[in-house]
Copies of this chain bind each other. A is one copy, B any other.
């Protein structure tokens, strides 16, 4: 609910302005003059409330809310397929036959003689009905007609998930928008109002699952699966449950030792297995709709099955066995690599690690286990190839992991609209099962006909007024949700929707903001690390340029720049062999310095600074040109935003302006550090004689 309308950007895309034209306002008011739900469950109650609030704000007239059994002769009927009255079932049967559990039908049903039309919102489930309602609201926010609706929608992905990296001390790992809205000082928040406001934002874009604690599970958080936090967990589950969202917990693989008093966490040990089974039973007794566990194991110093000589499948299946009786699932992260690598050793390649760890286990995982795979083989860089692990598994449930929080993409101080990046990932054709084996279809389970699949992403929200630090970063959360529902949505459509719903209908605003968002990723890429080589950030916090930041470290993230050239040789012949993890034609494309796309050249090849790109430029001149241009373009973003003064709520305008100003200053720092580094190292002057230090 809009608890404080004065908070800048708090409403996000559920900001309800009165419809612009009187005729539209009147039409909506009349078409939604009454609302009735065929059922009284909590999600349907939510659906009615949400619609009523939206209609009231958009039309200026509060709709009549009819108590359930009452038969509406006009207005909006909300119900669940199979639980409607016989007449409605009959009228909608041909459409609802197409929808599954979480889909919905929005349909205008003509009234009998003398009676007005009715709008039926029929979900395949309660949650489906709620999604239908949010669809209807979206149409009204955009001033679209709702007088002849016949919309059948079905989500592409079973799991549409958010991962909170929130710690119970109130901090958020990689959070750039304030403190946690869930926790403070080792406890759950006492006021769940903000959590509920978050739940409705998520549900409005189709999110149906959330892991509410950091995958790095620390001491206190390890106890989340114990009775210690049961009542608060129940409360959280209820708040999310009212919006059709199931909660998951990130768990510590060593929990049997850390909180169970056992001496081992060996997944094949029977006392460990029964300990987890008991935990699951207790959790499900309290929260029947509990989703399951998210696990980061044997990764970056987190405990895991390797300690006991077991593999990931042993570990995941043990937890899956505990959850299976209750319908729960295990989401097992594939972000596994050697983070104690020796930088002197050029044979070990972090990019190869996930594939090497998990493909030998394909087919060994239980049916209620999903492997959660980051989009790239490294770690959410501004540019990476798609992880080859997606093409390497066919008998295993898979899930794509994205990062909404801008860890490596400007930390919500820089604007970096990620929907175009995600679209490239989703549309990438792995050729795993012939042409058309896109990441979108592998993640959903369609390519290999897997029972489970979906997309998860690390949240970018905190307790900042506008949720996301940078108000324009809300577009990433919005776009993420929309893409989980339908990865085929064009980026432009998502952008336009978000702008219209968040900032209103002024086309002169829309054009400017759309331009800023769509240029932003490319601009950020241009002034940061070049040509796919990645990193070059300060270690630890990952903000700001540091070309050698990870060059001599244990983290396996190198560029190997010397006075002659730069890049990582990941070819099959002379390099680490990473390119072989791809199917043809990618294998050949990436393996060849001539065929490899420019933007990934340095990820796959070590080349001289004088190497000519497809663009015709040398590598070194490309570095100089993109960095000079990128910093200029960052300034253009600010200048462009400044034309909006007076057209937006002033606090919102100023907040974004301040961030864009910081970005344009920081882009100059990036430009100068990167250019200076490579000028000093290569000794090759800029062809245009621009200032390099």
- Which candidate, A23-31, A261-269, A677-685, is the interface stretch facing chain B? A677-685
Residues on B with beta carbons closer than 8 Å to the beta carbon of A562: 679-681, 683
Report yes or no: A683 in contact with B564, Cβ–Cβ below 8 A: yes
Report yes or no: B545 in contact with A547, Cβ–Cβ below 8 A: no
Q: Which of A160-175 contact B (CB under 8 A)?
A: none
Q: Which of A548-571 contact B (CB under 8 A)?
A: 548, 552, 561-564
Q: Tell me the smallest distance from the CB of A573 to a CB of chain B, in Å.
A: 21
Residue from the set A545, A672, A679, A680 with the largest chain B CB neighbour count within 10 Å: A680
Residue from the list B564, B682, B693 in contact with A344, Cβ < 8 A: B693
Report yes or no: A672 in contact with B344, Cβ–Cβ below 8 A: yes
Residue from the list B546, B680, B682 in contact with A561, Cβ < 8 A: B680
Look across to chain B and name the residue whose beta carbon is closest to the beta carbon of A548: B548
Residue from the list B343, B546, B680 in contact with A563, Cβ < 8 A: B680
Q: Which of A669-691 contact B (CB under 8 A)?
A: 672-673, 676-677, 679-683
Q: Tell me the smallest distance from the CB of A648 to a CB of chain B, in Å.
A: 33
Give Cα A546–Cα B680 distance, bound, in whole angstroms: 17
Report yes or no: B545 in contact with A546, Cβ–Cβ below 8 A: no
Give Cα A633–Cα B240 distance, bound, in whole angstroms: 63
Q: Tell me the smallest distance from the CB of A569 to a CB of chain B, in Å.
A: 14
Give Cα A547–Cα B672 distance, bound, in whole angstroms: 18
Residues on B with beta carbons closer than 8 Å to the beta carbon of A677: 548, 552
Residues on B with beta carbons closer than 8 Å to the beta carbon of A683: 562-564
Q: Tell me the smallest distance from the CB of A620 to a CB of chain B, in Å.
A: 12
Look across to chain B and name the residue whose beta carbon is closest to the beta carbon of A545: B552
Residue from the list B552, B676, B679, B682 in contact with A546, Cβ < 8 A: B552
Report yes or no: A563 in contact with B344, Cβ–Cβ below 8 A: no
> How many identical chains are in the complex?
2
Residues on B with beta carbons closer than 8 Å to the beta carbon of A547: 548
Give Cα A385–Cα B392 distance, bound, in whole angstroms: 60
Residues on B with beta carbons closer than 8 Å to the beta carbon of A676: 552
Residues on B with beta carbons closer than 8 Å to the beta carbon of A548: 546-548, 677
Give Cα A672–Cα B552 distance, bound, in whole angstroms: 9
Residues on B with beta carbons closer than 8 Å to the beta carbon of A681: 562-563, 680-681
Report yes or no: A673 in contact with B546, Cβ–Cβ below 8 A: no
Residues on B with beta carbons closer than 8 Å to the beta carbon of A344: 672, 693
Give Cα A691–Cα B561 distance, bound, in whole angstroms: 18
Give Cα A561–Cα B676 distance, bound, in whole angstroms: 11
Q: Mark A532-550, 1 if CB is under 8 A from B, else 0.
A: 0000000000000111100
Q: Which of A638-679 contact B (CB under 8 A)?
A: 672-673, 676-677, 679
Residues on B with beta carbons closer than 8 Å to the beta carbon of A673: 552
Give Cα A546–Cα B547 distance, bound, in whole angstroms: 11
Look across to chain B and name the residue whose beta carbon is closest to the beta carbon of A547: B548
Q: Tell me the smallest distance from the CB of A616 to a CB of chain B, in Å.
A: 25
Give Cα A564–Cα B344 distance, bound, in whole angstroms: 24
Look across to chain B and name the residue whose beta carbon is closest to the beta carbon of A553: B546
Q: Mark A60-99, 1 if CB is under 8 A from B, else 0.
A: 0000000000000000000000000000000000000000
Q: Tell me the smallest distance from the CB of A557 to a CB of chain B, in Å.
A: 15
Residues on B with beta carbons closer than 8 Å to the beta carbon of A679: 562
Residues on B with beta carbons closer than 8 Å to the beta carbon of A552: 545-546, 672-673, 676-677
Q: Tell me the smallest distance from the CB of A478 to a CB of chain B, in Å.
A: 36
Give Cα A552–Cα B668 distance, bound, in whole angstroms: 13
Give Cα A589–Cα B552 distance, bound, in whole angstroms: 37
Give Cα A563–Cα B343 distance, bound, in whole angstroms: 22
Q: Mark A334-358, 1 if CB is under 8 A from B, else 0.
A: 0000000001100000000000000
Look across to chain B and name the residue whose beta carbon is closest to the beta carbon of A345: B693
Instruction: Knowing A552-B673, A673-B552, say if A682 contacts B563 (CB, 8 Å).
Output: yes
Q: Tell me the smallest distance from the CB of A109 to a CB of chain B, in Å.
A: 66
Q: Tell me the smallest distance from the CB of A540 to a CB of chain B, in Å.
A: 9
Q: Tell me the smallest distance from the CB of A122 to a CB of chain B, in Å.
A: 59
Give Cα A561–Cα B548 distance, bound, in whole angstroms: 14
Give Cα A290–Cα B389 distance, bound, in whole angstroms: 69
Give Cα A564–Cα B545 distance, bound, in whole angstroms: 23
Give Cα A545–Cα B679 distance, bound, in whole angstroms: 23
Give Cα A348–Cα B211 distance, bound, in whole angstroms: 51
Q: Tell me the smallest distance from the CB of A559 to a CB of chain B, in Å.
A: 11
Residues on B with beta carbons closer than 8 Å to the beta carbon of A563: 563, 680-683
Q: Tell me the smallest distance from the CB of A663 to a CB of chain B, in Å.
A: 18
Residue from the set A545, A552, A681, A693 with the largest chain B CB neighbour count within 10 Å: A552
Give Cα A344–Cα B675 distance, bound, in whole angstroms: 12
Give Cα A681–Cα B566 distance, bound, in whole angstroms: 12
Residues on B with beta carbons closer than 8 Å to the beta carbon of A343: 693
- 14 pairs across A/B with beta carbons < 8 Å? A545-B552, A546-B552, A547-B548, A548-B548, A548-B677, A552-B672, A552-B673, A552-B676, A562-B683, A563-B563, A563-B680, A563-B681, A563-B682, A680-B681
With contacts A344-B693, A548-B548, A563-B681 known, what are 12 further pairs, Cβ within 8 A? Answer: A545-B552, A546-B552, A547-B548, A548-B677, A552-B672, A552-B673, A552-B677, A562-B679, A562-B680, A563-B682, A564-B683, A681-B681
User: What 5 pairs across the A-B complex have the smallest Cβ distances?
Assistant: A562-B680, A563-B683, A563-B563, A344-B693, A552-B673
